[in-house]
Structure 1
Amino acid sequence: MTLLKYSAAAFAMLPVTAFAQTAEEDIIVTASGFEQPRSETGQAIDIVDRDRLDQLQSATISEALQTVPGVSIATRGGLGSQSSAFIRGGNSAQTLVLIDGVRINDLTSPNGAFDFGGLMTGNIGRVEILRGPNSVIWGSQAIGGVVNIQSIAPVSGFEGRIAGEYGSHDTKRLNANIAGSNGLLEGSIGGSFVDTDGISALAGGTERDGYDNKSGNARLKARVSDSFTLDIRSYYNRATVAYDSAFGGGANGLPVSRNRQFVGYVGANIDALDGRMQNRIAYTRTEIKRIGTDPVVGSYNNFNLRGSIDRAELHSAIDMHDALTLVAGAEYERSFTSTSFEGAKPNVARNDVVSGFGQMILRPVTGLTVTAGVRHDVYGDYGGQTSFGGNAAFTPNAGRTMFRATYGEGFRAPTLTEGQPPYGNPDLKPETARNFDLGVEQQFLDGKVQIFTTYFNRRSNDLIAFSTVSFTSENIDKVTSKGVEAGLSLNPTDRIDIRASYTLVDAINRTAGANFGNRQALRPQHSMSLTADWQTPFGLSVGSSLLRIGDSFDNATNSVRLDGYTLVGLRASMPLSDRLEVYGRVDNLFDANYIMVAGYNSFGRRATFGVRAKF
């Protein structure tokens, strides 16, 4: 059976179950840009779904990502503070982030890195994490990996969710979502609210840096005919972050940033050739706005930053044969930024890019899938970039054993800040990377025990860094990142769920000079996650999490060492009825004193109590 037959809504990037597969089969979209079984890709991909988020009681996406192998998190302060994700030792700017299939990376940031600090889990239905480069499908920034975040999807019939919780530091959360489908229309709409007094972001402060966040999400899909479907999605986030600035005011400073994010998607899915061909036409819009004020220091902390991305896409896939699927796409993207500080005249920058890609998915024999593709991007300010990639997945025994192999190329185009005057260098080239993976997965005892291990090796060249010689950005850095990811899942009974992962990452600076051979900043060499959950016979669920992060360095010279740390959490939930449940958790149970980024605070012991309901 071909990939297109697995879903009548390929490219819609919405989870569906209308395909022939086992109940355990995972469906992923980050490998090829449309839905396919995970067993048909050689790329390393993990899924954190709504049930897992509820089980972990994760308040933020970054907390959930810490349980995923190959991912490390660095947060500068409390809830809402800047939070960076590093995949397989790559820079935070080398992680491409999507919300409901739309790029959300921050154009107002100098390097375009996405800040996970403001992304709560309230109405998130699923997070898909691809580890390793995949610029053939996703273009710029897909060097370290891709994180695709999806809001709660429509369901058959009607379903509503509501949850509220209260915790330490006067933290309040509330979220609600309704979703439904009648066959012709599918829809989902929700909102969430978070407010906290917080902690001082910088160490040594006595004033608290508070945070509030309001977000909304909506999705609508209308089946106009058997071969034509309209698809509309949107996400909005409005947050106010009090923070401490290194540019004045110190740990008791009073700067505030008011942030706005909007994502919009309008698309049409069109079938042709008796369903053998799927086409998706879409327009997407991303808007980001940040306004900073500082009543005491002013200067750099008073800013007005705006950025936007307009994108048009045409993606098609055709089943040439049961053993061959061809995928192709054409894209046009236009980006814009406006930057001003302390009331100065805004600096405006623009760029556009035209892209095309093709991919072949071949199934020559049962159990073997081979994928190969190529992409070419032409940027208005620096020229073209070509990326290649390929992977293979093979199972000799219907999925009980899986062998995976991947070769992937990734690139990151210079941001408007890096590449255009007055701050940038117009002679910059894109950062590039080449990566290969080798992995194996094995199931035992009818799937009750699962293990996996993956070796990866990535070489990155022409990385953009600030030059102390020219006092501008230059393509001067080289990095080698290699390591091993391993995981174990145990489900001896339906009531017990144990999951463990371990990551070894050697992210080494290969740039000629004083820092040659040093470790990349904020990339721990060793990290481990262990979660264990048990549902008692009388309904109570109890669980615990252990996160062990090894030593790392805070700077490129490796002169500032950050000691490793261990965090332990406890959680429990109890259903009061089929529709109502109470829950609670204690994070950092032993009140460990740890540092994620030098000079910044981290949370001590915290307690939270909540109620959630379905109807």
Structure 2
Amino acid sequence: MVRDPLRARLALAAAYAAFSAVSTPAFSQSPPQPRETELPSVDITVTANRSPTEIQRTGSAITVVPREQLQASNPGSLVDVLRTVPGLDVTETGGPGASTTVRLRGASSGQTLVLIDGVRVGDPSSASSEFDLSILSPALIDRIEVLRGPQSALYGSDAMGGVINIITKRGLGPTGAFAQIEGGSYGTGAVSGGIHGSQGPWSYAASGSFARSDGFSRYGYRISRFDPAVTAGYDADGYDRYSGYGRFGYDPGTGFRFEAGVMASATRSEYDAASGKYPDTPNVAFRRFYQIYGRGSWDTLDGALTHAITTFFARSERIFREVRYGSNQTPAQTTSTLSEYYGQRVGAEYQGDLRLGLAGRVTFGARLERETAETFSERYLPTPIARASTLEAGQNTRALFALWQLPLGERLDLSIGGRIDDVVGVARFATWRGTLAYRITETGTKLRASAGTGGKAPTLFQLYAPIYGNPNLQAETSLGFDAGIDQSILGGRGTLSVTAFTNRFSNLIEYNALTSSYFNVARAETRGVEMAASFVLWPDVVRMRAGWTYLEAKDLTTGLTLARRPRNVGTLGFVVTPTPAWSIEPSMTYVSQRYSGSGETLRLNPYMRFDLRTSYQIDKTWTAFARVENLTNVRYEEVYNYGTAGRSFYAGLRANW
């Protein structure tokens, strides 16, 4: 049973927020955010250099997904909009509500760092400390910044493939509100609403959402090699998700700024064992996430030096009620267990930003974090075994970092940075990063390049799990390079971006089945090309967006392709506006052949999926929208033997006041 109700956790989060607000001004792992009157546009990034920077001045490969693009996608899932980001691969294990993993440039999910408002949110109780994006609602999000390439010099452990920073909405201007409702195929429904604004020095934003679906059987649904007469009898696996967040700020204009935020999400999803004689089983997963942070900054030296401090708290909970059958479905042949995983992060960080005029900007800081993991197991059938602790561990991480951004004239921007992470008693590693951006304004060209190293400390599970753990593990490391060009085309009506990259991973941690433990034994290499294009075909009527990623991801020990890394992924979309109030958006996604298992096993066929979205603004308040997903009803798999949705229809209303 679930022992920690959502209400109790929300109370804990609120108490921690109050403590943070009283005890110290705070600032998260993200760069100092713009003032409340400086809401960033798609031309500004707060992730690439830990401080607000014009994208034209950064040498890193970065994509910003704005609020408008999020609103046009599926309100129940972040998956669809993230698929349009070059270099980013998303895998759902059996449709909406199932566990979802992301990978950047072929790095594993645990080597892709996820931040929410700059706060690290990976689950310390999981095997690779990854974050499950399926628990988040798009209704809570204002924008997403995806920074590709090794970024451990800025953000520490896990940022080997890159960083995904999910940024919630900030209050700005007069009070505004929104509400949205949607329904459609598979018994799907979603509703969300929120409020935001500012009053004098205070700003505020809050939002809540609920989404549900009856779903379909995660195992075997619409997979042609299975007998339809058998899979037709499989139970549908649905989900329910509640999410909410609140964020407020205080800026009296005296050089001191304060901000605090809280987020909570709870998901109940059904899933299948997907193995044995009876793979369709009544399993249920409960996944909860809580985050709280306080953030304060103040200016000194006539504004030349800004100090910022953060306190932060994040907790992930995963509880699995699992049923497996033997040769029959009698109680004597049934195994029923409850497994619980609780991971928690708490800490503080200082960041200073020193503006040196023509000598650029120096960003420096220090971070202290403690992460803990607790796991429990209980068995009900066939022989009851009382709840018992299977893992209780924790570790402290101390870090120092610095970054120098140096403009040389009006065309060239350089940056060089480094960081030392010390996981006390476990691992210590140093990382570095350098970038270059050169602009040719006469032709609308930006040339850019970056190089850096990445590191990932072994997780608590890998170190201390009973039987499997190895306390002698060392940190994983990587070295990566990229070079690219951003070019204005069609007389300024469009842009074209092309990036070539390579990453080499060493000392990777793998599970050794012969010894039943983890070891630093693996090496891997990923390389490829990313392309993104956006331009206006017919002014005010037709716009086009396209993306393509070519990836070679190899296990250097065996020479074989890494699991779930397609060689080619392409997206193509159009925005057609026959009238100012009416928008039609057809799109296509192509994914090439890949392997669901290691060692090039469990081959998955390529597929091409078509979607269609449309919206109509009825008046200043109301907008109606609809979409058809998988228009041609193509059958495909993202994970071997796990189904995906067929042709699906959805429609809804959105209101803004």
What TM-score does the superposition give when structure 2 sets the normalisation length?
A: 0.88
Flag the 1:569–1:15 CA change in 2: closer, same or farther, 3 A.
Answer: farther
1:214 aligns with 2:242: yes
Distance 1:267 1:441 in 2: 34
Give 2:163's aligned residue.
Answer: 146
Give 1:556's aligned residue.
Answer: 598
Secondary structure in 1 matching 2:139: coil
Distance 2:169 2:247 in 1: 9
1:65 aligns with 2:82: yes
Alignment of 1:463-612 (within 5 A): 463-492=508-537, 493-511=539-557, 516-537=558-579, 539-612=581-654
User: 8 Å contact 2:141–2:169 — kept in the other structure?
Assistant: yes
Distance 1:308 1:46 in 2: 29
User: 8 Å contact 2:407–2:414 — kept in the other structure?
Assistant: yes
Flag the 1:321–1:529 CA change in 2: closer, same or farther, 3 A.
Answer: same
Distance 1:248 1:113 in 2: 28
Distance 1:561 1:397 in 2: 47
Distance 1:57 1:245 in 2: 27
**TM superposition shift of 1:25:** 6.3
**Percent identity over paired residues:** 29
Flag the 1:199–1:399 CA change in 2: closer, same or farther, 3 A.
Answer: farther
Letter of the structure 2 residue corresponding to residue 345 of structure 1: S
Letter of the structure 2 residue corresponding to residue 507 of structure 1: A
Flag the 1:377–1:582 CA change in 2: closer, same or farther, 3 A.
Answer: same
1:451 aligns with 2:487: no
1:327 aligns with 2:373: no
1:226 aligns with 2:270: no
What TM-score does the superposition give when structure 1 sets the normalisation length?
A: 0.94
Give 2:204's aligned residue.
Answer: 187
Q: What is the alpha-carbon root mean square deviation over aligned residues?
A: 1.9
User: 8 Å contact 2:274–2:280 — kept in the other structure?
Assistant: no
Give 2:51's aligned residue.
Answer: 34
User: 8 Å contact 1:87–1:131 — kept in the other structure?
Assistant: yes
Flag the 1:174–1:612 CA change in 2: closer, same or farther, 3 A.
Answer: same
User: 8 Å contact 1:533–1:542 — kept in the other structure?
Assistant: yes
**TM superposition shift of 1:346:** 4.1
User: 8 Å contact 2:32–2:50 — kept in the other structure?
Assistant: no
User: Which whole-Å deviations, capped at 9, do the CAs of 1:303-362 have from their partners, x for residues lacking one?
Assistant: 121110002000011012233211101000000110111122342010001000011110
User: Which of 105, 121, 145 is residue 122 of structure 2 equivalent to?
Assistant: 105
Give 1:307's aligned residue.
Answer: 343
Distance 2:456 2:613 in 1: 40
Give 2:12's aligned residue.
Answer: none
Distance 1:487 1:336 in 2: 40
User: 8 Å contact 2:273–2:323 — kept in the other structure?
Assistant: no
Where do 5+ consecutive residues of structure 1 fail to align? 1-9
Give 2:138's aligned residue.
Answer: 121
Distance 1:399 1:207 in 2: 59
User: Which whole-Å deviations, capped at 9, do the CAs of 1:156-178 have from their partners, x for residues lacking one?
Assistant: 12211111100101111001111
Give 2:154's aligned residue.
Answer: 137
Where do 5+ consecutive residues of structure 2 fail to align? 1-29, 221-230, 326-333, 379-386
User: Which whole-Å deviations, capped at 9, do the CAs of 1:373-395 have from their partners, x for residues lacking one?
Assistant: 11001112323110011001110
Distance 2:38 2:110 in 1: 36
**TM superposition shift of 1:447:** 2.3
Distance 2:113 2:345 in 1: 14
User: Which of 313, 318, 321 is residue 293 of structure 1 equivalent to?
Assistant: 321
Distance 1:171 1:347 in 2: 37
Distance 1:309 1:398 in 2: 49
Flag the 1:57–1:80 CA change in 2: closer, same or farther, 3 A.
Answer: closer
Distance 1:17 1:445 in 2: 34
**TM superposition shift of 1:421:** 4.5
Secondary structure in 1 matching 2:197: strand
User: Which whole-Å deviations, capped at 9, do the CAs of 1:111-144 have from their partners, x for residues lacking one?
Assistant: 1121122222122110110111100111011011
Letter of the structure 1 residue corresponding to residue 507 of structure 2: D
Distance 2:611 2:620 in 1: 27
Give 1:264's aligned residue.
Answer: 292
1:383 aligns with 2:400: no
User: 8 Å contact 2:377–2:388 — kept in the other structure?
Assistant: yes
Alignment of 1:60-99 (within 5 A): 60-99=77-116
- Say how many residue pairs are matched: 599
User: 8 Å contact 1:236–1:262 — kept in the other structure?
Assistant: yes
Give 1:339's aligned residue.
Answer: 375
Distance 1:598 1:254 in 2: 20
Secondary structure in 2 matching 1:363: strand
